[in-house]
A and B are shown apart, each in its own frame.
Chain A
């Protein structure tokens, strides 16, 4: 019996991500879920613009590379092209999903588009070398906030799950993280639910994964995981922000 195997849905190639980056963990979780649900053959993934732009080289299912921020709109097209036979997920970072693509995110959620969104929130633009993101924390030093994010000049970081939870539309919103084993397990549960919801026709399911970027945070991988706990999670509390089916069940 194999104790540890690579998921079939993940292609066996070296990833381009920096050491200590949590993209690798989340890629693996998504792939494990695709394997467990037996949906690889009907899954189409949408890669964003950002660090995970080349995710199309890593997932074994059909893949599309979208324009910056437009993944939910592209996913809408792919899903509607054949709703019965397509399982569609987007994999997006914070700049992609919550800045340039905010309109696409909000409206896909409002339509309760039957897609799965994996949202990597690491509070920075990684691919372009560490600029301020819509989710960068107040005081966070980045290349474009060299004196720390000043809310007077650039406002406050956006809490995506909280904001979307005000919409009637979306089915399921949960924030998880992957900074320790327990949280990784919870993250997988959430991701699996987000895909299962789509299979069950329930609609828009988004999992926000609070992630690390040791390179652009200027930390060691271990420090970065600790910073998630000490600085990110107090502002971005973990938890389920919306679960319509569960709420309805409770009401019954």
Chain B
């Protein structure tokens, strides 16, 4: 087993992307994810890859669209306001069924907001981000090692299902350092892409990458087919972690940094004799409905712990089919709930159900 090295989450994403065979990166400077671009700028020229600082977020995502059209693994990264600008490109990538990896290291919003960690782009990411009916596969890492692993996974899922995958991290995940192993990452090479626009070589019909479809019956059919594919993803690719859920009276829902804080709070609650547990969605889309539905059979209440004004809570309510009360424990604008706040929320709910 290769040695672990100490890395920032942002750097781990960059290193893992290269390990996954991504030789093309396009970005635009924005805090708190700029380390990804800096890493790519340093490494790509030495390995014959492309690092290009685009003139805008819009240009960057369209350069991604170009490389993806040509069938190569490609990524861009940004933070919240920048991802809004990429929204148009995300929609076109979806409409043209192109695989790519997008990284959003979120900061507080709305507007220019702040530069401290946030999870307030949950709605934007899990509902697509741009116009039209579509989804992205949204992956939420909770450690630096997972930043690396889910980056590889994101490229693979994107290729398998011909769609965009997004790493939805927060500023904490991007900035914090932890030991991580890049060399040990297992990578499946990209599949054949016979649809790619790489030149006909006068040996086949021309390929067209396109999202325009002026006949409504045909466009509807395209949407139906895309959603059939989404169904397969929901069945096969949903990922989550359960922590002490089996006998829990109170189940927390949290992802990313909020999940780590929540885990501490669960441990503290258990010490006090309160049966708390945690479900940590790793895929935010597809949302892991099954474990929530199952937990709703025995748990008395749910608490959604988030770095926003309450966004994932809606998916928790849907997944539990409103069978149990779901409350919100949150901070916003770049603030992070601490374990004491979460423990208090657990105690409060426990008092209510005792």
Contacts and interface: CB of A to CB of B under 8 A. Distances in A.
B199 to A, nearest CB: 4
A76 B209 contact: no
Contacts of A120: none
A64 interface: yes
A103 B59 CA distance: 9
B64 interface: yes
Interface in B45-70: 50, 52, 54-56, 58-60, 62-70
Interface stretch (A55-63, A163-171, A178-186, A231-239): A55-63
A77 B63 contact: yes
A53 interface: yes
A226 interface: no
A63 B24 contact: no
Contacts of A53: 212
B201 interface: yes
A43 B69 CA distance: 13
Contacts of A87: 199
Q: Choose among A63, A66, A107 the residue with the greatest number of B CB atoms under 10 Å from its CB.
A: A66
Contacts of B202: 40-41
A73 interface: yes
Interface in A76-119: 76-82, 85-87, 103-104, 106-107
Contacts, number: 136
Contacts of A76: 52, 59, 63, 66
B211 interface: yes
Interface residues of A, number: 36
Given A65-B210, A73-B63, 18 more contacts: A41-B200, A56-B208, A60-B206, A61-B199, A62-B197, A63-B210, A64-B208, A65-B209, A65-B212, A74-B65, A74-B66, A78-B70, A80-B63, A81-B67, A81-B70, A81-B71, A82-B70, A87-B199
A-B pairs, top 10 by smallest CB distance, nearest first, are A77-B66, A73-B62, A81-B70, A62-B197, A107-B55, A77-B63, A70-B62, A42-B199, A65-B210, A41-B202
30 contacts: A41-B201, A44-B69, A57-B208, A60-B200, A61-B206, A64-B66, A64-B208, A65-B96, A70-B58, A70-B59, A73-B54, A73-B58, A73-B59, A74-B62, A77-B62, A77-B67, A77-B68, A77-B69, A78-B67, A78-B197, A80-B24, A80-B63, A80-B66, A81-B72, A85-B198, A85-B199, A86-B70, A103-B58, A103-B59, A107-B55
Interface of A: 40-44, 53-54, 56-57, 59-67, 70, 73-82, 85-87, 103-104, 106-107
